[in-house]
Structures are given as C-alpha cells and as structure tokens.
Chains A and B, each alone.
Chain A
C-alpha cells in the first residue's frame, strides 16, 4: 500500500474547485472564493480546535473538556497559492449512532464531500481514536490523519510509529503537537497533497466482518455500484442500509447519492437540517 502515487489525470469533475458547491451550500457553508474545503473531524478533546486555530490563525476558544466546540466553526487559510476553507466538525467518538453531533459530522463528510477530511487523533489513546478514523475512511478516501498530542504520548512513555500507521491506514499520517505549533507545516503539506491529488490515498477498509454479513454487503454494494457508478463508498452505503439507517435509505430513494457523484444541485426540498453558523 503506497500513499504517494501520482495520478496522471483526474476526471474533470473532480478537479473543478466548485465540484460539490451545491451540497456544501446546502450544509450551510459559505462557498465564496474557496479552492478546497477541508473538514476537521476527531474524537472530543483531541485538540481539534487547537489544530483549527493553528491552521487558521483564529482564536476560537479551546478548553480541556470534551464538547467544548458547541457550534461548527469555519475559517480559512492560504497555502501554496490556493485558498482553503476549514470546517471544524463537532467532536464524536463514532459516526454510527444517532446523536445530533454524529449526524452533523457524518452528513458533512458524506454529503458535503469535503476535498480532504483531516481526522485529529489523540496519540495517547490511539486504539479508541482509530475507531472513528476507520469509519471516516469507509466514507471518504481523501483523508489525512493528524496524530496530535505527541508530546503527551512521550510524557506517558510510549512511541507511536506514524509511518507504520500510515501504511496500515493507507492515508498520510502527520505527527503534531498543535498546542506548540509543531508539525503544522507538514500537516498543511499533506492536506495540500491530498487536495490536489498529488497523494492518492488507498484507505483501509474494515475487514473483520461476519462472513454472513460480508457476502450480503458485497452483493448490495455491487447493486449500488451499478446505479451510482462513481460513488466512492458503495460498500459503506451498503453496510448502512443493512444496519437500517433510514437517512441513507432516504438519500438513495431521493437520488441524493447520485447527485453527489454527478455534482448536480440536489433537491432543495430534502434539506437535511439547517446548521446555524455562529461562533461563540
């Protein structure tokens, strides 16, 4: 598994800066003048807001308690002559169940189709954090893992092998200490590489499914592929259908998933839920 393959040419739709503009606007993102949209996901209290501040130079308040970011924050930055819009999603442990936070984060990654999803990970609690990473990687194959709080991992006396992790996950992994601005330049470079298709990810897909389930998943995924040939996450959509996820079933019924792949403006009558944009 390599993460740094150079793809010769991307399909025209994918490279257009306003590829998913309509979906993003529907999710409440101001879409004026941005080349790429970056989503920032992660467990609560991993320093997402700190990474957000470090990247944007904003001073969104950060605090050492879970759930600090009660509203979605947005900011922007320039890098390599491109403009990036950064959206700080609510911190969640998973994207499976149905709390509002998880739904907001999931909908944004799935329907907003950000150009890159950065998953901020607490290096001292890697295993639990990877649960979210693996779910994100099921939905999108354009992700960067920000391995944050490396100083604390060191303080607790253990090492995290970021290169091994990158190989296993199939996406770039950047060790950082966001509070002290360490590794942010490398993180920016990795985000830029994925956004511009210089890095093509080959994300890990969940393997240890029950055999019974596995077979059904591949069957339904094949059907989904047939109807929505460009969908990058047919297998995940199939899994959600089998899990009885009504929101996804609705998206298939309404053809919203098809809109994602063609870039056509989605049906406005089917608004997910308006997300109010405020910063506290």
Chain B
C-alpha cells in the first residue's frame, strides 16, 4: 500500500495505466454490461405488468401504416397538403378582415389626420404610404396563415409524426450523402428558413450540418407561400375550368414545394461528392410513442413562440422596405424616378430569364423579407405603366381588391404564363432572406459558407429560369 503523503496525482494515473494493461476484460464492455444488468434488475422489480399484453396496440398499428413502404409517402403528401390547404383556405377570410381594417378604415383616417395636421405631402407619403402601408400589408397577409400554419405544424410535431417523416425520408438523405436528421431541419424550414438553420444543430457532424444549412433554403418558407399561392391562383388556375381551378392551383403550389425537396436531395448529393465529401453517418432515431397533443396549450405557445416572433421580424423589415420603395419611386433623376432607372437597367437581363426588370427589382427590395415580393411587384408595375387610376399614388405598396384587378395590372406589365411560372420558380430558388443569411453566418461562423449558401441558390435560380425560358420560347417558336 501507498502512504498517503506520498501519493500524487501522477501516481494515480500511472497505476491506472498499469492496471489497464493488466486487466484482461474489456473495461468499457464490462462497465456497460454491469450498468445494463443492474438497470434490468431494478426495473424488473419496480415494473408490474399485467399477465397479457393489450390485444390491440394502437401505436404500433399507426406506425405500421405511416412508415409503410406503400402508404408512407401518400400519407405524408396527404397530411401536408391538408395542412397547407387548411392554411390557404382558412387564412383568406381573416386576411380580408385585417386588410379592410388596415386599408379601408385606418388608412383614410390616417390620411385625413395628416391633412388636418397640414403635414407636407412627402412626410405623409413617406410615413403613411411607405412605412404604414407596407407594415399593414405584411401583417394582414402574414398573420392569419402563420397563426394557422404554425399551430397545425406544432400539433403534428407534438403528436409524434415528425420522427416518422424523418424515418421515411432517411433513406433518400442517406443516398444523397446527408444526415437523416436533415429531414427534421428541412421540415422546420417550411415554416421559416432561419428557424430551420438553427434546427440543424441536432446534426453532430459538421460536414452534414453544412449540407443541411446550405440546402435549407429549398424548403419553401412561410414568406414565399403567399407569392406561390397568388401567382398560381391567377395564372395557373385560370388555365382550367373554374370548378377545378382551386385544386389545380393548390396542387401546383405543392408541386413547387416538392420540386424544392427534390432540389434538396440533388444539391445534398452534389455537395457530398464535391466540396463536402464524406460518408453519411448513422444515427439512432427513437420513434417516440404517439402522444395526444394538448391542443389549447400548443396553440398558445406556438402563437407566442413562433407566430409573433416571425411576424415581428417581418414587420421590422417591411417598414424600411416600404419607405425605400416610396423614396425610389418619388425621387426623380433627370425626369425619371430612380426606380424606373433601375427597372430599365434590369429589364434586359430579366427578360432573358423569362422574368422582367420589375420582378428582379422587387426581389432586390425584398431581400430583408420575401413576404413583400408581390406588393413590390404590383407597385412597381403600376408605377412604370402609369396606371394612375388603380394605385392610390406612386410608391404605395398595395394589394388589389380582386384577383381580376391583379391580373389586369400584371397583363399591363407584360406578364405571360412563362413570367408566372418563372416567378414561382425564382421564388423557390433564390438567395435566402437577410435574416436567414445572418443566421447562417452566426451558426457556421464562416464567411465562406455564408457566401456559398447565399450565392449557390441564386445562381441555380438564374440557371433554371434561363433554361425554362429558352425551352419555352423554342417550343413556342416551333408551334
């Protein structure tokens, strides 16, 4: 034995080292085995099971259905289509209420108040037509769908469905050289890409996490759903008889979303064979028991935690964007507004992509928040075409009362079916919004990967829309 005074920390280490050489059994295995034996014994004594198992195990039956090879994917599609359908159709009415409150009631009274106070036209224009209207538009368009979508999504999550989705998609991600947990961050991305990027923290391997971060942008986020829905409704829905128009436009939106998922796989595959080479790591995913969600609590927390936070972010970005649009539309250089100069400059390139200068400028203005793409497009189109009878004034972000009016404005702007399709595609495939870019920078801590995540989808979007436009025009010329 040692004497106490003589033992030092190093003695402990060296005798541990000596003992390690001397011990014949595998220490780790022996330890794990001992833990398992003790745990099994204690659990056995404490748990009292009745004689026979319940005859019908609901959880297992559900699992067999939702993860089956045949039914897994149809059920997945059906559930998500259902969620989106409820979101789209349920949000219309409250959106209309909010819109008429903000635009028909508050807007005129603000204008009257400004007149009563004898504010100069540029101040009331800047504050009310720029800042106020853009904020009002974002709230009335975003709040209702988010207040429906986030709780529904959270309910699915709490019920325990998401791990099953991950289970179903795992094989695809593995084949793409990515981590199976990427399906979870992808799902979060359908709500908000910034949240999706944060959710990639569940992936341990840096390589696979980067893939998940870069491809998260291909999950159509909440800010882009309104663009997709509106364009699909007025252009694609118009191609078919009225009684199927709703279904067809809903399906075309779902189609764009699925295209985004396919792009996720394709880009993950390409990245894991080039810049981010490596094997997909394995992980164990526990399929948790189904738990009946606490509906009221879920709605409360998802509205507080997600809806309000995301909405607040949109409002903060919409205010300066509205002010910016108002300014560039009202400040003239050599007789033409700055906005018109920019549109003229972007137009040739836009037409090459089957888009136009207005759309490109709108995407530049909307970098802070994708939500304001459509109002920016409408406002800029009206301004360029000089449709003074529709717009409340130059540089005012507005939404038209009916889809027919919107179509009329877009037709004046030279929109065709190709413009519509490419606008939907470009909305799916372009740079992430500034919040997401900032989040990517915070999460990766790398300028290089932030730039790649920003420019890769932008480049792809330009390539895809260019190709579609060329093929489209070729086919048109032949026909």
What is the CA–CA distance of A239 and B301 in the complex, to the nearest angstrom?
Answer: 44
Which residues of A have CB within 8 Å of B201? 70-71
Which residues of B have CB within 8 Å of A213? 23, 25, 27, 30-31
Which residues of A have CB within 8 Å of B35? 131, 134-135, 206
Q: Are A239 and B33 in contact (CB under 8 A)?
A: no
Interface residue count on the A side (C-beta < 8 Å): 64
Which residues of B have CB within 8 Å of A124? 289
Q: Are A67 and B181 in contact (CB under 8 A)?
A: yes
The answer, among B15, B36, B160, for a CB contact under 8 Å with A65, is B160
B262 at the interface (CB under 8 A from A): no
Q: Are B158 and A63 in contact (CB under 8 A)?
A: yes
Give the total number of A-B pairs whose CB atoms are below 8 A apart.
Answer: 179
- Closest chain A residue, CB of each to CB of B293: A64
Encode A174-192 as 1/0 by CB contact (under 8 A) with B: 0000011000000000000
What is the CA–CA distance of A244 and B17 in the complex, to the nearest angstrom?
Answer: 8
Encode A202-234 as 1/0 by CB contact (under 8 A) with B: 001011111011001001100110110000000
Q: Are B28 and A243 in contact (CB under 8 A)?
A: yes
Q: Are B285 and A66 in contact (CB under 8 A)?
A: yes
Central interface residue in A45, A180, A210, A224, by most chain B CB within 10 Å: A210
What is the CA–CA distance of A62 and B300 in the complex, to the nearest angstrom?
Answer: 13
- Closest chain B residue, CB of each to CB of A61: B305
A31 at the interface (CB under 8 A from B): no
Residues of A160-185 whose CB lies within 8 A of B: 160-162, 164-165, 168-169, 179-180
- Closest chain A residue, CB of each to CB of B154: A63
Q: Are B30 and A249 in contact (CB under 8 A)?
A: no
Which residues of B have CB within 8 Å of A209? 30-31, 34
Of B39-47, B370-378, B404-412, the one touching chain A: B39-47
- Closest chain A residue, CB of each to CB of B53: A157
Which residues of A have CB within 8 Å of B13? 241, 249, 252-253
Q: A59-B305, A158-B48, A161-B47 are in contact. List 6 more A-B contacts (CB 8 A).
A: A61-B305, A63-B162, A96-B28, A134-B35, A168-B46, A208-B33
Q: Are A165 and B42 in contact (CB under 8 A)?
A: yes
Main secondary structure of the interface of B (DSSP, over half): helix
Central interface residue in A44, A180, A226, by most chain B CB within 10 Å: A226
Q: Given A70-B201, A204-B42, A212-B24, are A227 and B7 neighbors across the interface (CB < 8 Å)?
A: yes
CB-defined A-B contacts under 8 Å, sample of 23: A59-B304, A63-B157, A64-B291, A70-B201, A124-B289, A127-B39, A130-B42, A152-B291, A157-B50, A157-B54, A169-B42, A180-B294, A206-B31, A213-B25, A216-B22, A220-B19, A223-B12, A226-B4, A226-B7, A227-B8, A242-B23, A249-B16, A280-B195
Which 7 pairs between the two chains have the least Cβ-Cβ distance?
A: A130-B39, A127-B43, A70-B201, A241-B16, A64-B160, A165-B46, A159-B48
A255 at the interface (CB under 8 A from B): yes
- Shortest Cβ distance from residue B397 to the other chain A in the assembled complex, whole angstroms: 31
Which residues of B have CB within 8 Å of A61? 301-302, 305-306
Residues of B with Cβ closer than 8 Å to A?
2, 4, 7-13, 15-16, 19-20, 22-25, 27-28, 30-40, 42-50, 53-54, 154, 157-160, 162-163, 166, 181, 184, 195, 198-199, 201-202, 204, 285-286, 288-291, 293-294, 301-302, 304-306
The answer, among B9, B37, B157, B199, for a CB contact under 8 Å with A227, is B9
Residues of A76-99 whose CB lies within 8 A of B: 96, 99
A238 at the interface (CB under 8 A from B): yes
Q: Are B12 and A161 in contact (CB under 8 A)?
A: no
A100 at the interface (CB under 8 A from B): yes
What is the CA–CA distance of A179 and B158 in the complex, to the nearest angstrom?
Answer: 12
What is the CA–CA distance of A227 and B16 in the complex, to the nearest angstrom?
Answer: 14
Q: Given A159-B47, A219-B19, A252-B9, are A100 and B204 neighbors across the interface (CB < 8 Å)?
A: yes
Q: Given A63-B154, A134-B35, A204-B42, are A210 and B30 neighbors across the interface (CB < 8 Å)?
A: yes
Q: Are B47 and A126 in contact (CB under 8 A)?
A: yes
What is the CA–CA distance of A67 and B4 in the complex, to the nearest angstrom?
Answer: 46
Q: Are A243 and B50 in contact (CB under 8 A)?
A: no
Q: Are A64 and B2 in contact (CB under 8 A)?
A: no
Which residues of B have CB within 8 Å of A241? 12-13, 16
What is the CA–CA distance of A208 and B20 in the complex, to the nearest angstrom?
Answer: 19
Q: Are B47 and A243 in contact (CB under 8 A)?
A: no
Which residues of A have CB within 8 Å of B305? 59, 61
Which residues of A have CB within 8 Å of B301? 59, 61
Q: Are B286 and A66 in contact (CB under 8 A)?
A: yes
Which residues of B have CB within 8 Å of A134? 35, 38-39
The answer, among A96, A220, A226, A253, for a CB contact under 8 Å with B31, is A96
The answer, among B8, B16, B159, for a CB contact under 8 Å with A220, is B16
Which residues of A have CB within 8 Å of B38? 130, 134, 204, 206-208
- Closest chain B residue, CB of each to CB of A216: B19
Q: Are B23 and A216 in contact (CB under 8 A)?
A: yes
Q: Are A223 and B43 in contact (CB under 8 A)?
A: no
The answer, among B22, B39, B158, B288, for a CB contact under 8 Å with A66, is B288
- Shortest Cβ distance from residue B308 to the other chain A in the assembled complex, whole angstroms: 12
Which residues of B have CB within 8 Å of A66? 163, 285-286, 288
Q: Are B42 and A168 in contact (CB under 8 A)?
A: yes
A7 at the interface (CB under 8 A from B): no
- Shortest Cβ distance from residue B390 to the other chain A in the assembled complex, whole angstroms: 43
The answer, among A45, A126, A128, A210, for a CB contact under 8 Å with B288, is A45
What is the CA–CA distance of A152 and B160 in the complex, to the nearest angstrom?
Answer: 14
Which residues of A have CB within 8 Å of B289? 124, 152
The answer, among A44, A64, A242, for a CB contact under 8 Å with B19, is A242
Which residues of A have CB within 8 Å of B15? 219-220, 223
